[in-house]
Structure 1
């Protein structure tokens, strides 16, 4: 086989892999080989082989005979679809570091990506909260403080999308009833703060505040989280508010300078 033939063959495999990935309607969907084959028009044997390759690469995950998009592809899609300004991390990082020095708790910076939160930056606290989060990874919007504060400042169409979707229950405290979540978002918007009191992990509490632009739209959010048995979110609220306001001012001026 010539080098040219190898390149053509590789191109065909890549094209079919993308065809497989286009079989999902949304990130949370789980599909079996037969359904993927039906949706894509690829033979079941081809679909099964490609899914094995994609699973090995971390692009898809296998769950009891079905498949869903994996963290690797979800992280990439978060960067591309969330519309993250290139300067967001650069501008926000000093304020995240200040909050860490003041609290010694875990600090997150995140943006809304569909029904998820894309984690832009994370600074680990002295006592790490048991939440599986990483830079570039995704967190659920409806149960996290970051997610609730960003949803509260989002257009009604965005809120409707999550309120009409199936909400996963992570702990007994997770709000999965649409009316309750809608009321929670109204309260969050009124106070400019969101809380996660054991809703994502039973041993973690968290509070978040938005970074808003001149039009009052949240473009990102900062959160402080810690172990539920020790961390009191109310004790850090004013520090968080000040950091979020200051970061918002700098982001607005940075946006104006690059516009």
Structure 2
């Protein structure tokens, strides 16, 4: 029922494999709840609740992010023996997946898993190469203080992002929690007008940054190539939880 013109009862029955009588009963109930709406031609489309869910679906670059990032993250985790995150900006926050243990798989994207962009290495790497309108939206928002090290002054954050653009690395020194330190690099994907970032947790910035710089840069380049490959429609539907048939 995703196409613009909606579907008839017969089409819904054919796609669902349910008897027409069952489809008629279910669709009538859903229409009564306004989950579906019926037009003058007798075709059914998404009502306000379904439209709201559809609008909340992750954008296209997110749909296959985890699948393509997993081998990169696994290799970077093996190379550094440190937790790894890959994320993208959603509004002014960061949506991410992470690899935290050798015995645990990379997590899945979750609407509940969000990081503040201004207080993480991952977020600063993303902001450094984000469109101007996105950066300005973050700078205009409340830059919440999580620890004494959190950057809350827009002008200081803007200056730090310039250094990220020059060095290709973003750092976080106990800005989100009192013990967390990390290094991140942007992953620019020009062919898809998208940007991701990849982050490695470290114990000591002065000691660990030199050792993780090269594997992090290689991982960012690898992930950029992975994300630049076009997604086949069937794979996109599968990643979104849909039915390619």
TM superposition score normalised by structure 1 = 0.62
Q: Structure 1 residues 101, 237: CA separation in 2 closer, same or farther (over 3 Å shift)?
A: same
Aligned to 1:37: none
Is this contact kept in 2: 1:82–1:118, CA < 8 A? Answer: no
Over aligned residue pairs, what C-alpha RMSD do you find?
Answer: 3.8
Question: Which stretches in structure 1 are left out of the alignment for 5+ residues?
Answer: 13-18, 20-72, 127-132
Change (3 A) 1:85 1:166: closer
Larger Rg computed on CA atoms: 2
- Alpha-carbon distance in 2 for matches of 1:218, 1:208: 17
Q: Quote how far apart the aligned CAs of 1:243 are.
A: 0.8
Residue in 2 that maps onto 1:158 = 134
Give the 3 Å change call, closer, same or farther, for CA 198–218 of structure 1 in structure 2: farther
CA distance in 2, matches of 1:217, 1:184: 24
Please state if 1:11 is matched with 2:33: yes
Distance in 2, matches of 1:208 and 1:163, equals 20
Show the counterpart of 2:64.
87
Measure how far apart 1:125 and its partner are: 3.9
Q: Quick one: structure 1 residues 217 and 202, their matched pair in 2 at CA, closer, same or farther if it must change by over 3 Å? A: farther
Query: Gaps spanning 5+ residues in structure 2: where?
Result: 1-24, 35-47, 237-245
CA distance in 1, matches of 2:126, 2:134: 10
- 1:88, CA displacement in angstroms? 2.2
Assess, with a 3 A threshold, how the Cα gap between structure 1 residues 234 and 11 changes in structure 2: closer, same or farther.
farther
Partner of 1:116: 93
Mark the CA change 1:244 to 1:196 in structure 2 (over 3 Å): closer, same or farther: same
Deviations 1:79-122 (A, max 9, x none): 72544343322222111000111111111111101110001x21
Distance 1:192 1:101 in 2: 22
Equivalent-residue separation in structure 2 for 1:225 and 1:93 (angstroms) = 17
Instruction: Map residues 102-251 of structure 1 onto 2, 5 A cutoff.
Output: 102-119=79-96, 121-125=97-101, 135-136=109-110, 137-214=113-190, 219-227=195-203, 232-251=208-227
CA drift at 1:215: 6.3
The DSSP-based 3-state class of the residue aligned with 1:80 is coil
